[in-house]
Amino acid sequence: MTKLIKKMSVPLTSLILLLNMSSAGMAETTVSAEVGFIFNTLLFLICGFLVMFMAAGFAMLESGMVTSKSVSVICAKNIGLFSIAGIMFWLFGYNLAYGIPEGGYIGKFIPWSDSSAVDTGYSDGSDWYFQMVFCATTVSIVSGTLAERIKLWPFFLFAAILSGIIYPIVMGWQWGGGWLASMGFSDFAGSTLVHSTGGSAALAGAILLGPRLGRFTKSGSPAPLKPFAASSIPLVTLGVFVLWLGWFGFNGGSQLAMGTADDAIAVSTIFMNTFLAGAGGVMAAGIVTRLGFGKTDVVQMLNGCIGGLVAITAEPLMPSPLAAILIGAVGGVIVVYGTKLLFSLKIDDVVGAIPAHLFAGIWGTLIVPATNSGTSFGTQLIGVLSINIFVFVIAYIIWSIMKATVGIRLSKEGETKGTDVTETGVIAYAIRD
Amino acid sequence: MTKLIKKMSVPLTSLILLLNMSSAGMAETTVSAEVGFIFNTLLFLICGFLVMFMAAGFAMLESGMVTSKSVSVICAKNIGLFSIAGIMFWLFGYNLAYGIPEGGYIGKFIPWSDSSAVDTGYSDGSDWYFQMVFCATTVSIVSGTLAERIKLWPFFLFAAILSGIIYPIVMGWQWGGGWLASMGFSDFAGSTLVHSTGGSAALAGAILLGPRLGRFTKSGSPAPLKPFAASSIPLVTLGVFVLWLGWFGFNGGSQLAMGTADDAIAVSTIFMNTFLAGAGGVMAAGIVTRLGFGKTDVVQMLNGCIGGLVAITAEPLMPSPLAAILIGAVGGVIVVYGTKLLFSLKIDDVVGAIPAHLFAGIWGTLIVPATNSGTSFGTQLIGVLSINIFVFVIAYIIWSIMKATVGIRLSKEGETKGTDVTETGVIAYAIRD
Amino acid sequence: MTKLIKKMSVPLTSLILLLNMSSAGMAETTVSAEVGFIFNTLLFLICGFLVMFMAAGFAMLESGMVTSKSVSVICAKNIGLFSIAGIMFWLFGYNLAYGIPEGGYIGKFIPWSDSSAVDTGYSDGSDWYFQMVFCATTVSIVSGTLAERIKLWPFFLFAAILSGIIYPIVMGWQWGGGWLASMGFSDFAGSTLVHSTGGSAALAGAILLGPRLGRFTKSGSPAPLKPFAASSIPLVTLGVFVLWLGWFGFNGGSQLAMGTADDAIAVSTIFMNTFLAGAGGVMAAGIVTRLGFGKTDVVQMLNGCIGGLVAITAEPLMPSPLAAILIGAVGGVIVVYGTKLLFSLKIDDVVGAIPAHLFAGIWGTLIVPATNSGTSFGTQLIGVLSINIFVFVIAYIIWSIMKATVGIRLSKEGETKGTDVTETGVIAYAIRD
């Protein structure tokens, strides 16, 4: 069917419908509350399963980026943290986040209940599902940074605290209607709430845990150090494509409604900008590494995509397409130089999650006022600082307590053998027969 | 957009809509038959493509679990069985399943036709698509168990019989309105109809085929025997995440309707419970292997996820979230000990499909009365026994006939070289240049 | 819930609704313009993200098919071309394609603007997203054919020209309402417009670039030559499953509407036929290679799936299920013999994209009149010839200019080392520790 014919035929149909509608006195109420309810719920479910699949994206990205002796454990961490985050978010998180008083700092705990009805606008279950996968995403960000030397079960314990308590508190401040929301802070889909929260928690862990053995002996070399070479670039690539796919749900679903034409138009604009920001991040990182370092670093292109996507997440609706490309491109550049910065600071972020999620998240949140006139730089800065400092400090304290008690780092012997032998007893690749 | 603002604004909009609606005398009929038709059809199509993607999940799970000399053939089996199942289900299966008389045992064959109209509630094509991917899932379950020693084309022949005749008969008993439905058996999305059917057919094949050469010489060792090590754990992980994703469609779409707020709420609850049961399965298997055997066995966590998902499939709507976690957790434990049981019986199930699909499916179906008061343990037991015995016996007979005629097992020489060399002539991994 | 109960209950509900509807005088206008707008937009967004994910499918298919020393660059090409195509399609392509006068040959450039309103039938942003991923698909087709010896950035330059100018011109001819649409040419979802366009551009490049070093010294051998063995068959398999998934969006979304029961029925039929054609392609290729060459070539089964899908893309709505299977099966056979043909012509198509996309696309477009009586063979032939000749000639000229100026082929030394060392400096697989 040609597009032209379609373009012509639709208005005609609409006209007929509108005429009939108006004869029934309904021209202004063309979506009933129940139909709107179904559309809104459907948006949460569809966008929710896209975000859920991001868990697979993180698993593949991280599996590909670690060395081949730590891949099974990364798989265990990713399937485990997703499960833990979901259970904790049901037990505590969802209720804590929404139990916050207006303008408040912390909610009271209200047990889960489902009070869905047509006039609540969407089903509670669909909202829980959508919010839960955001919570799980926050935890996913942490797992890659700390790979190859952290103990498995202490990591799971941290995942439970992050998903059950830390993230829900921060979420309540803004999306539960707490003090940041009251102040006018704006973070549409979570550049700061989700991505920087994950990044700050990862940074605290990386500092306390220290780098992998031998990681920084030959300091400053930008070439891929062979002992730390990524185990599979195609899996990293797959992971990034899956994340990009999931991000349409992440940002699109954060419109929170699909029951009017205006909402449908908004979701469409968000899809477009989300795509363009990712594209900007890819190409910026590709150009910067090609011109700056001689080779087109595919890992930086892939991580640059994440950086671009994180950057647009704070405001994917208001930017023009060109602005979206630029916001994403800066996100991509931040990833490249952020990675170098961490390297020079001897902080070992195995998958580059801190530059992509924390640094690009800060950028994305601070640039919101450039395209959304209802926000101010000062308020955005307060939001960025308060959330990141809060999360970093709390995470640092928790990691410290765990370090002093159960221990968080594998023994030297365990790390040398590889986490797969030590922790799961399953070798990741048995390619040779 | 903050959640709070949204939460406040929706009821307002709804109120306005409701007021307008009631002024037009429509308060109780807010979804027209045609809009309902579109929503129902959309549910089948969306959930259908999610289930379709499970074929990729099985392909990755099995590719990763077999040894590296049998991977190409697993790929051929998975793409081939999906094609065969779909074609057979169009030719025979769909029509056989729905041609059954009420309360009957076997349907008469009615050729495919599409009689969709607004008053049929959804389009026949979308229903065919949704039911077809269920049929294909049943066959997918069989392929992994029999890997590494079965001949390719005899497997394809069995796939054709299972998808064209065996599964449609069983499907007709319940979802076509046959004798099990009349009796009050309850299997919401197919713990028994799909998963146990696949598992029973696999078990019959595994017994007749015998284990891989050398699999059980060092009996009882729970450590991964090097010659039988999984070729790629990240692919197994990817497969499980894809299956988990697909399962939202599998269970959610089995609500069969999305055209009312009540249906949308039900689908949301199903998504929530499906997630939680998978999470319960993962963590139960992780904890059991860590405490019981010293290492956190990632393969069991991944298979435990499947076990949890299979368990909730018989009744994903009625359980509370806590019940869903527990039902899934027991499913995960069943996978761990079911795997050990098969090992001790010297039945070689290469990917652990029998514990995950057959054993966890029995559990899930029998526990339905605990959360759904409209069912009884006795009826559930009759359903479980009748379907599993029927499928096992028929499959055993068919495998036996095939064994006696075309042969089902590769020659010793062929198996030693590896199925990839013998059957497809394509080596799966050429990682070294 | 049993299907039967559902089947019985739906008409009842519908009846009640219809009665109420008619009492409100609305029996014939059951979908309001705004609800239709939301459904149409939702169709574009859902089908759009499925097609977007095809980019991951191509990335995996190509990563798996190239040798292990060219995988990182394939990943860089795929993430890069997708980004470039999207940015170019926003800058130029979308506007060029739709700026064409009725019956015209080339459009005038109109900058992007969003004029969505209820009476436009769907949101412009959703249409842009959906059309953009088609454009990106066209470019993806080119990247695999030219793998392992083309320079990265000249490829990116070609990608920009193809997505910004060549494809949009061809798109305008038909989907923008240009001369081919006026003439009555029919290409529902782009067997020719997308797939053959990509294939023709790839063919021109392959001829000018020449084969990989050493590819044709042992001419004519159909066995997999070890130095050119595919790096990972499971990744190829994953890629094909992802493409198959995406194709439901590709063809289904090309109905361009979901706001009536008739459209919903049409989309369902398209899903069904798209599945069956892929299945036909898989099995035809499997049977032909088994009977013709002794082994069941899994790579040909996988590529046969693509061939079947490309073939049905020109007309996925009108064929009966049987016709869909047959159209797909011929597509699969064309892939097998087309691959042999290119081999005998010493044209080095690394992934078999030319047989699958160009040859099967020609077949699919020419067979349209067999099932769609509103088309004629002569007009279809004119469409096929004009588009393929136009694209081939323009692409040949552009590749030639690039060859004479910036150069398109790696140095012998660079190719011998492998593109991964030369271009990205990142080794794809570091499986051994």
Contacts of B126 in chain C (CB under 8 A): 264, 267-268, 271
Average pLDDT over residues C148-167: 97
Count helices and strands (H / E) in chain B.
19, 0
Average pLDDT over residues A142-148: 95
Burial profile C100-132: b = 16 or more Cβ within 10 angstroms, e = fewer:
beeebebbeeeebebebebbbbbbbbbbbbbbb
Asked whether residue B12 carries a pLDDT value surpassing 70, the answer given is no
Mean pLDDT for chain B? 90
B56 Cα to chain C: minimum distance (Å): 6
Q: CB–CB of A59/A239 below 8 Å? A: yes
Q: How far is CA B192 from CA A237, B334, B360, B371, in A?
A: 37, 16, 9, 17
Q: How buried is C277 (Cβ within 10 angstroms: 0-12 exposed, 13-18 middle, 19+ buried)?
A: buried
Whole-number Å distance between alpha carbons of B335 and B284: 10
Closest CB to A248: pick one of C49, C120, C123: C49
Q: Does B8 touch chain C (CB under 8 A)?
A: no
Selected residues 150-209 of chain B with any CB under 8 Å from a CB in chain C: 152-153, 174-177, 181, 188
Q: What are phi and psi of C331, to 5 degrees?
A: -55, -40
Q: Do B279 and A125 touch (CB under 8 A)?
A: no
Q: Would you state the pLDDT for residue C207?
A: 98
B208 Cα to chain C: minimum distance (Å): 24
Evaluate the CA torsion angle B201, B203, B207, B210 in order and state its sign: positive
Distance of CA A78 to the CA centre of its chain: 14
Q: Closest by alpha carbon to A83, among C36, B273, B369, B277?
A: B277
Q: Do B429 and A431 touch (CB under 8 A)?
A: yes
Selected residues 346-385 of chain B with any CB under 8 Å from a CB in chain C: none
Asked whether residue C315 carries a pLDDT value surpassing 60, the answer given is yes
Whole-number Å distance between alpha carbons of B14 and C72: 52
pLDDT single digits (tens) B188-206: 999 999 999 999 999 999 9
Whole-number Å distance between alpha carbons of B352 and B70: 16
How many beta carbons lie within 10 A of that of residue C340, not counting itself? 15
Whole-number Å distance between alpha carbons of B162 and B394: 10
Closest CB to C296: pick one of B132, B152, B433: B152
Q: Would you state the pLDDT for residue C28?
A: 45
Distance of CA B297 to the CA centre of its chain: 23
Share of chain A above pLDDT 70, in %: 90
Asked whether residue B22 carries a pLDDT value surpassing 70, the answer given is no
Cα angle C283-C285-C290, degrees, rounded to a multiple of 5: 95
Q: CB–CB of A121/B263 below 8 Å? A: no
Closest CB to B298: pick one of A112, A176, A424: A424
**Locus of tokens 């979506």:** A31
Average pLDDT over residues C183-200: 98
Q: CB–CB of C246/C269 below 8 Å? A: no
Q: Which of B148, B221, B275 to mutate to test the interface with A (most CBs of A within 10 A)?
A: B275
Contacts of B426 in chain C (CB under 8 A): 224, 230, 233, 295, 297-299
pLDDT band of B411, cuts 50, 70, 90: very high
Region of A355 on the Ramachandran plot (φ > 0 left; ψ -120 to 50 alpha; else beta)? alpha
pLDDT single digits (tens) A234-280: 999 999 999 999 999 999 999 999 999 999 999 999 999 999 999 99
pLDDT single digits (tens) A188-243: 999 999 999 999 999 999 999 999 999 887 555 544 446 788 999 999 999 999 99
Q: Closest by alpha carbon to A307, among A243, A249, A368?
A: A243
Q: Do A276 and C90 touch (CB under 8 A)?
A: yes
Whole-number Å distance between alpha carbons of A103 and C291: 73
pLDDT single digits (tens) A285-329: 999 999 999 999 999 999 999 999 999 999 999 999 999 999 999
Inter-helix orientation angle C298-313/C261-293, to 10°:
150
Asked whether residue B40 carries a pLDDT value surpassing 70, the answer given is yes
Q: How far is CA B224 from CA B203, B230, B342, C427, C432, in A?
A: 22, 9, 15, 29, 19
**Locus of tokens 């590909």:** A64
pLDDT top residue among A29 and A201: A201
Q: CB–CB of A382/A179 below 8 Å? A: no
Q: Would you state the pLDDT for residue A226?
A: 67
Distance of CA A27 to the CA centre of its chain: 40
Q: Do B429 and C232 touch (CB under 8 A)?
A: yes
pLDDT band of A425, cuts 50, 70, 90: confident
Task: Using a cut of 0.90, tell me whether the model's pTM lies above it.
Answer: yes
Q: How far is CA C30 from CA A289, B76, B95, C261, C340, in A?
A: 56, 47, 31, 10, 55
Locate C183 and state its tokens: 């003439």
Burial profile C295-311: b = 16 or more Cβ within 10 angstroms, e = fewer:
bbbbbbbbbbbbbbbbb
DSSP three-state, residue B354: helix
Question: Chains with ≥3 Cβ pairs under 8 A against A?
Answer: B, C
Mean pLDDT for chain C? 90
- Beta-bridge mates of residue B232: A429
Region of C346 on the Ramachandran plot (φ > 0 left; ψ -120 to 50 alpha; else beta)? left
Q: Does C51 touch chain A (CB under 8 A)?
A: no
- Beta-bridge mates of residue C429: A232
Q: What are phi and psi of C185, to 5 degrees?
A: -65, 145
- Best-predicted range by mean pLDDT among A38-52, A419-433, B22-36? A38-52
Q: CB–CB of A96/A107 below 8 Å? A: yes
pLDDT band of C29, cuts 50, 70, 90: low
Q: Closest by alpha carbon to C162, among C141, C147, C187?
A: C141
Average pLDDT over residues B226-246: 93
Asked whether residue B88 carries a pLDDT value surpassing 60, the answer given is yes
Closest CB to B229: pick one of A48, A56, A430: A430
Whole-number Å distance between alpha carbons of B213 and B206: 13
Locate A387 and state its tokens: 């959330």
Q: How far is CA A40 from CA A117, B349, C42, C151, in A?
A: 13, 44, 12, 47
Q: Do B280 and A87 touch (CB under 8 A)?
A: yes
Share of chain C above pLDDT 90, in %: 79
Locate B129 and state its tokens: 């698509």
Asked whether residue B126 carries a pLDDT value surpassing 80, the answer given is yes
The half-sphere exposure of A76 on its side-chain side, counting CA atoms within 13 A, is 36
Asked whether residue A21 carries a pLDDT value surpassing 80, the answer given is no
- Beta-bridge mates of residue A429: B232
The half-sphere exposure of B365 on its side-chain side, counting CA atoms within 13 A, is 30
How many beta carbons lie within 10 A of that of residue A219, not counting itself? 9
Q: What are phi and psi of C69, to 5 degrees?
A: -100, 5
ipTM value greater than 0.90: yes
Q: Do A224 and C426 touch (CB under 8 A)?
A: yes
Locate B63 and state its tokens: 């590719």
Share of chain B above pLDDT 70, in %: 90
Q: Does A48 touch chain B (CB under 8 A)?
A: yes
Locate C262 and state its tokens: 């008739």
Q: Would you state the pLDDT for residue C226?
A: 67
First to last CA, chain B: 52
Closest CB to C428: pick one of A3, A46, A233: A233
Q: Would you state the pLDDT for residue C422?
A: 84
